[in-house]
């Protein structure tokens, strides 16, 4: 039997164990009543051995695995496949398709259609059809009193066809209904996650506004003290460079706080600006601009030779890319590389560094709030905010570690969502940093990172 190699883990082991115990109990009662109660002769020992084998398998599985274990499609289909073969063996010993309980052979396929994927259900359906075909051709006599009981071959053929068609129709119907229910459940889960993310982002926004308000006064004090120190120490003194660095960082903090308190529509106040629509590479260059002048360079590689998309100036993209670039600069060893690419229907941006890469322990939850690898530093909100802002623009964000070393953030947009229609573009647009196919290197000057 061919079964899929993976699966979504939609069914618990305990559910199938309970169903098998129910089947074992029903089969045992049927054998006892038929052989001892009604006195019908049949091969009781092989039939009892088949029922005992199912009970023993259930006990073994219960002792080895927890009932809460989630089964893959492969595991669940193998589990149901055994039940199907075991039931076919019992039917072979008790009359084949002439046995009234032959209808139960469609149960494993129906269960598969409701909880497993299409591949698993098709595999089990083919196995069930093969079992039905064998039982229609050969089986032990139906347990009966007197001279025995045998249905005409044509009638047995009719049962064969009815079981096959009934199993197929029920399986298709159950699979369609279950698939629709799963889609609704997945949509509801996605909506709940999006709402939760929005609530967390709103909370972070309020926290940022409060922080900007509270930090304004001490930052002003630091700027004043730094200015006074600059007057006390001449330019050539040993502390002059440190004081200049302190002033530079204070100005940067003031700029960041002003961005946090700026209204969302301030960036679009000048609607007549010729730079309200610009090439994609120019927007990325703008996002990298505040991080120039560090010890480590930033390279912007533009791969395609085709005409690049024109997009509206997006503060979300600028801030998010800047955040990711800043994070890459903190961990890189020699440089940060930004790779830009686009096709007829997709736009890509890759932010790469050559550091140690992402910690495997947090890679699965990277992008969630308050997840950080900096011991005692930061709040773990930078990547979360960047990912959320990019997703607001329609992007898909993926994090990965590079081989042999380094980290990569892959951002992908649908071009139809990101690109401004040609009819809406302005006559003048910002120039791209370099022509397609070139490599642009910034941050070559020495300074603080």
pLDDT in tens, 232-279: 877 777 787 788 888 888 887 877 777 655 544 444 334 344 457 888
Q: Over the stretch 63-82, which tens digit does the pLDDT of each residue have?
A: 888 888 888 888 888 888 99
Which domain range does residue 234 map to? Answer: 197-266
Residues 99 and 146 in one domain: yes
Tell me: do 224 and 326 sit in the same domain. Answer: no
Domain count, the chain: 3
How many Cβ atoms sit within 10 Å of the Cβ of residue 268? Answer: 13
Q: Are residues 136 and 216 in the same domain?
A: no
Same domain, 256 and 291: no
Residue 262, classed as helix, strand or coil, is coil
The answer as to whether 182 is a domain residue is no
Mean pLDDT for the chain overall: 78
118 inside domain:
yes
Comparing 21-30, 193-202, 378-387, which segment has the lowest mean pLDDT?
A: 193-202
Domain end point (choices 266, 289, 305): 266
* Among candidate residues 85, 116, 150, the one where a domain is terminated: 150
CB 196 within 8 A of CB 384: no
Q: Is 394 left (phi over 0), alpha (psi -120 to 50) or beta?
A: left
One domain for residues 303 and 353: yes
**pLDDT for residue 106:** 87
Backbone angles phi, psi at 359, to 5 degrees: -65, 125
Asked whether residue 319 falls in the same domain as residue 340, the answer is yes
Which band of pLDDT confidence, cut at 50, 70 and 90, is reported for residue 341? very high
Are residues 428 and 352 part of one domain? yes
For residues 443 and 449, give the distance between their C-alpha atoms in angstroms, rounded to a whole number: 10
Q: Quick one: 305 and 338 in the same domain?
A: yes
Any domain includes 218: yes
Query: Is residue 125 domain-shared with residue 231, that is, in the same domain?
Result: no
- Backbone φ and ψ of 227, nearest 5°: -65, -40
Mean pLDDT, residues 96-120: 85
Considering the domain architecture, whether residues 63 and 111 belong to the same structural domain is answered as yes
Find residue 439's DSSP bridge partners: 301
Which of 249, 219, 338 minimizes the C-alpha distance to 289? 338
Assigned domain for 171 exists:
no
Minimum mean pLDDT among 12-26, 83-97, 115-129, 425-439: which range?
425-439
Residues 286 and 417 in one domain: yes
Ramachandran angles phi, psi of 420, nearest 5°: -80, 130
* Residues 403, 278 within the same domain: yes
Say if 226 falls within a structural domain. yes
Q: How many CB atoms lie under 10 A from the CB of residue 208?
A: 17
Residue 101 CA, chain-centre distance (Å), reads 43
Residue 192 lies in a domain: no
Q: For 65-145, list the strands marked E by DSSP.
A: 70-71
């Amino acid at each position: 039997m061919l079964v899929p190699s993976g699966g979504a883990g939609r069914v618990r082991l305990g559910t199938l164990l309970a169903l098998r115990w129910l089947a074992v109990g029903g089969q045992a009662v049927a054998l006892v009543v038929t052989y001892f109660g009604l006195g019908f002769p049949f091969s009781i020992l092989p039939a009892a051995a088949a029922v005992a084998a199912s009970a023993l398998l259930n006990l073994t599985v219960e002792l080895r695995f927890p009932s809460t274990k989630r089964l893959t499609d492969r595991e669940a289909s193998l589990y149901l496949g055994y039940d199907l073969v075991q039931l076919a063996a019992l039917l072979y010993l008790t009359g084949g398709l002439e046995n009234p309980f032959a209808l139960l052979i469609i149960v494993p396929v129906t269960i598969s259609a409701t909880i497993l994927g299409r591949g698993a259900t098709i595999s089990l359906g083919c196995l069930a059809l093969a079992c039905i075909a064998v039982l229609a051709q050969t089986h032990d006599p139906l347990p009966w009193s007197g001279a025995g009981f045998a249905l005409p071959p044509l009638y047995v053929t009719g049962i064969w066809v009815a079981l096959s068609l009934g199993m197929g129709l029920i399986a298709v119907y159950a699979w369609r209904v279950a698939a629709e229910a799963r889609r609704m459940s997945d949509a509801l889960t996605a909506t709940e996650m999006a709402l939760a993310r929005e609530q967390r982002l709103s909370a972070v926004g309020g926290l940022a506004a409060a922080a900007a308000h509270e930090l304004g006064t001490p930052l002003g004090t630091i700027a004043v003290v730094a200015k006074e120190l600059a007057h006390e120490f001449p330019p050539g003194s040993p502390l002059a460079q440190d004081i200049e660095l302190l002033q530079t960082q204070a100005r940067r903090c003031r700029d960041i706080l002003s961005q946090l308190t700026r209204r969302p529509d301030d960036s679009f106040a000048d609607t007549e600006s010729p730079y309200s629509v610009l090439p994609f590479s120019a927007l990325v260059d703008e996002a990298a601009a505040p991080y120039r002048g560090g010890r480590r360079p930033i390279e912007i590689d533009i791969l395609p030779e085709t005409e690049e998309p024109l997009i509206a100036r997006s503060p979300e993209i600028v801030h998010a890319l800047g955040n990711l670039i800043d994070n890459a600069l903190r961990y890189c060893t020699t440089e940060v590389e930004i790779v830009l690419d686009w096709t007829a229907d997709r736009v890509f941006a890759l932010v790469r560094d050559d550091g140690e890469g992402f910690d495997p322990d947090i890679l699965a939850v990277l992008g969630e709030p308050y997840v950080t690898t900096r011991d005692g530093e930061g709040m773990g909100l930078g990547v979360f905010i960047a990912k959320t802002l990019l997703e607001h623009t329609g992007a898909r964000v993926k994090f990965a570690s590079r081989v042999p070393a380094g980290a990569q953030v892959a951002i992908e947009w649908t071009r139809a969502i990101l690109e401004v229609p040609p009819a809406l573009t302005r006559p003048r647009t910002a120039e791209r940093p370099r022509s397609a196919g070139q490599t642009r290197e910034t941050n070559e000057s020495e300074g603080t990172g």
